[in-house]
Amino acid sequence: MEWLKDAGVPWPDGARAAACISWDCDGDATAQLSWPDDVNGHAFTTSWMQHDRVAIPRIVDMYEYYGIKQTFFVPAWCIEEYPKVFETVVANGHEIGMHGYLHEGASHQSAEGELFWMRRCADIIEKFSGRRPVGNRSPGGLMSEKTYDYLVQEGFLYDSTLMHDNFPYVLATSAGNILELQSDLMANDDWVQYAHVWDLQFMMQPRSPQEAGAVYLAEFEAAYASGSAWIASFHAQISGRLARLTQVGRIIEHIQAKGDVWMATMEEIALHVNKCISDGSWKPRVVDMPLYPKGRIPALRPGFVPDEVALRVTPPIPWTD
């Protein structure tokens, strides 16, 4: 990749790349929020937590076998409701990151409500794990104009929701800066590979674990070649199933066989990247947040062109709104 102008991060101990396979443990939070008066009527989403009770201890066992610590993003309600499931995550030294209270989308909340629940989630995770969370992944990839200001104000170290870059980068807000550990909800997420969820009208043709694994490995190899961090976002209810988790294990073996990849929690990766930024050994891209000023862009405002030729607003697809 001689043509690549981006400089790789100088990882610890001369490692060529970093990697973290993170898990979003959504459980049945989505079901509670979507059908509060009829939650028992939804087989797919109510099965998720029941399956997570099986899958999460299995994932922790797998990580113990491979000798790695990784990151779990958990809606705080799931921790309150199913503490035993997550005790094993904490006991084994993994990181717990914030993932909403009931997997609520920040863009659907009031500004006051978003901050209220952010603080409550951090309190719950701190009380449960003994450590205040330092990382956030916004449920559903939905954020408000205030989300990143709030994360900075509340002392968060990093976010991992956005897909602006293939390297870690910095979000500049009116409250200060925060590191973004880049997500990729298309290539490094299991949802699009496997999710077939009637409850949410999200029905992909599930791929085989080998096909999905080929997508992830291509992404890992590109991150490895370029000196970036490969960050996967998997879901316990989706990739915690036997055949798929076996494939995740194969990927870990592939990474470890390289001999020069730093597998670490996202907190560890963020701390290291920030250190490199501070000492000048690596320069990140900086993106101003929010991306757009409040309100419509001029081309979509009344009067920009005569009404009969005005661009028509296209409604969002149902699943995202």
Closest CA to 219 of 192, 246, 243, 241: 192
| Chain mean position to CA 291 | 19
CB of 75 or CB of 227, closer to Zn ion: 75
**Quick one: which of 9, 26, 98, 265 contacts Zn ion (CB under 5 A)?**
26
Q: Does 52 bind Zn ion (CB under 5 A)?
A: no
CB of 65 or CB of 319, closer to Zn ion: 319
Q: Closest separation between CB of residue 187 and Zn ion, Å? A: 17
Segments in the chain forming alpha helices (H): 29-34, 43-66, 76-81, 83-91, 111-129, 147-153, 191-194, 209-226, 236-239, 242-258, 266-279
Which among 49-57, 139-147, 199-207, 225-233 is the span making contact with Zn ion, rule CB under 5 A? Answer: 139-147
Q: Closest separation between CB of residue 235 and Zn ion, Å? A: 7
Q: Closest separation between CB of residue 259 and Zn ion, Å? A: 33
**Quick one: which of 15, 24, 193, 282 contacts Zn ion (CB under 5 A)?**
24
272 membership: H or E segment, kind and range: helix 266-279
Which among 2-10, 131-139, 264-272, 285-293 is the span making contact with Zn ion, rule CB under 5 A? Answer: 131-139
Which among 123-131, 132-140, 161-169, 218-226 is the span making contact with Zn ion, rule CB under 5 A? Answer: 132-140
Q: How far, in Å, are 159, 298, 313, 314 from residue 306 at the CA level?
A: 42, 13, 15, 18
Which among 136-144, 149-157, 176-184, 262-270 is the span making contact with Zn ion, rule CB under 5 A? Answer: 136-144
CB of 8 or CB of 139, closer to Zn ion: 139
CB of 74 or CB of 276, closer to Zn ion: 74
Output the CA torsion sign for 204, 34, 105, 151. negative
Provide the 8-state DSSP code for 190: S
The identity of residue 74, as a single letter, is V
Contact in structure between 185 and 165 (CB atoms under 8 Å): no
Residues lying near Zn ion in the complex (CB under 5 A): 24, 26, 139
